[in-house]
């Protein structure tokens, strides 16, 4: 084990805990900016309900990294890390197992809901434009939150119904819920991103060549596709590594598993750059909030918004709100 030789003793878990804290901070900063922009006007709040909740869920993911890293670091420094702990004790004695569960489930759920909305926008164009409102997004989002709450409740039940004993107080998802539920948890998240990417790619290929799509609309489609692709690479693949590590515990170093899970966290940092470079209205709003406007910007924005409204009337495959 190469990392064990490089970091003897508790060196691996100490470094892993510090990296988790850094990762969590880096996740919070861009998603806080996204949250401010998405809630900067009534129009943005209604149009970007899913994106707002996606940023919130990614912030929960970042908080879970900070809490787990700081909690384990504190236990190590107080020499209380290497103590036998049951899965039920992990779920009740520490907060980070619950945050780790929500931090994985919520982003995956809202990515799936975004995909559902895109399917409706492409395949039911007339109905979508006449009937689909911000209230529908809110109802669908509420369903997603309730679903994640139900899954977490099941995790508590499983943890208490069939408790397992751990050699330390790592209290990761697998340690807190058991290997069976943990495997289902990670595989469900990984598969949900892969399915969302496959559906988004299919919609992109079907509609990208349409003469009704202007350059702006194509960039919006590309933004969702890139975001889904990043999730597959940085969430789905590391999740399978985490599952393999639990079923073959002697195969991977502690630090290697931690680095794989860090990818899980760092994917939450990509919302801001993707929205900024591919969503024109998001970029303009950022400039307005940061007071980067030049003389004449208001006139340009007004004219461009008029052109965008005209393009929405002519477009047949894409809804500009997603």
Which pLDDT belongs to residue 189? Answer: 92
Least confident window among 13-17, 147-151, 171-175, 242-246: 242-246
| pLDDT, tens only, 204-233 | 887 776 665 556 666 777 888 888 889 888
Bridge partner residues of 86 (DSSP): 165
Which pLDDT belongs to residue 149? Answer: 94
If one compares 250 and 19, the residue with the highest pLDDT of the two is: 19
- In this predicted structure, the answer to whether residue 102 has a pLDDT above a threshold of 70 is yes
What percentage of the chain carries pLDDT values higher than 70?
A: 81
Residue 141 in contact with residue 53, Cβ under 8 Å? Answer: yes
Q: String of b and e for 70-91 (b: at least 16 CB within 10 Å)?
A: bbbbebbeeeebeeebbbbbbb
- In this predicted structure, the answer to whether residue 312 has a pLDDT above a threshold of 70 is no
Least confident window among 26-30, 73-77, 148-152, 318-322: 318-322
Least confident window among 165-179, 189-203, 210-224: 210-224
Least Cα distance to 171 among 253, 271, 248, 98 occurs for 98
* Cα 144–Cα 282–Cα 235 angle in degrees, nearest 5: 45
- d(CA 64, CA 97) in angstroms, rounded, equals 8
What kind of fold does domain 2-314 have according to CATH? Answer: Rhopdopsin 7-helix transmembrane proteins (1.20.1070)
Once rounded to an integer, what is the mean pLDDT over residues 125-153? 88
Residue 122 in contact with residue 207, Cβ under 8 Å? Answer: yes
Which pLDDT belongs to residue 134? Answer: 83
Reduced to 3 states (helix: H, G, I; strand: E, B; else coil), residue 212 is coil
Cα 311 off chain centre by = 31
- d(CA 276, CA 120) in angstroms, rounded, equals 25
């Amino acid at each position: 084990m190469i990392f064990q030789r490089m970091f003897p003793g508790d060196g691996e878990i100490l470094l892993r805990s510090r990296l988790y804290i850094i990762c969590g901070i880096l996740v919070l900063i861009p998603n806080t900016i996204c949250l401010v922009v998405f809630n900067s006007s009534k129009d943005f709040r209604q149009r970007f309900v899913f994106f707002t909740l996606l940023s919130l869920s990614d912030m929960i993911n970042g908080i879970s990294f900070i809490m787990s890293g700081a909690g384990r670091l504190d236990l190590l420094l107080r020499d209380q890390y290497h103590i036998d702990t049951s899965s039920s004790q992990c779920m009740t004695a520490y907060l980070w197992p619950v945050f780790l569960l929500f931090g994985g489930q919520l982003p995956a759920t809202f990515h799936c809901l975004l995909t559902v909305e895109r399917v409706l926008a492409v395949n039911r164009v007339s109905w979508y434009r006449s009937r689909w409102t911000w209230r529908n997004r809110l109802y669908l989002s509420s369903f997603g939150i309730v679903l994640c709450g139900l899954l977490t409740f099941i995790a508590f039940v499983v943890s208490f119904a069939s408790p397992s004993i751990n050699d330390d107080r790592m209290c990761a998802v697998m340690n807190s819920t058991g290997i069976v539920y943990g495997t289902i948890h990670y595989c469900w998240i990984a598969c949900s991103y892969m399915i969302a990417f496959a559906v988004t790619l299919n919609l992109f290929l079907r509609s990208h060549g349409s003469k009704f799509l202007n350059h702006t609309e194509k960039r919006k489609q590309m933004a969702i596709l890139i975001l889904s692709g990043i999730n597959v690479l940085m969430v789905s693949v590391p999740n399978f590594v985490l599952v393999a590590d639990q079923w073959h515990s002697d195969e991977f170093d502690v630090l290697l598993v931690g680095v794989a899970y860090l990818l899980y966290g760092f994917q939450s940092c990509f919302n801001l750059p993707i929205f900024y470079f591919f969503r024109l209205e998001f970029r303009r709003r950022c400039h307005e909030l940061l007071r980067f406007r030049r003389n004449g910007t208001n006139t340009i924005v007004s004219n461009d918004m008029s052109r965008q409204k005209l393009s929405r009337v002519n477009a047949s495959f894409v809804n500009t709100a997603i």
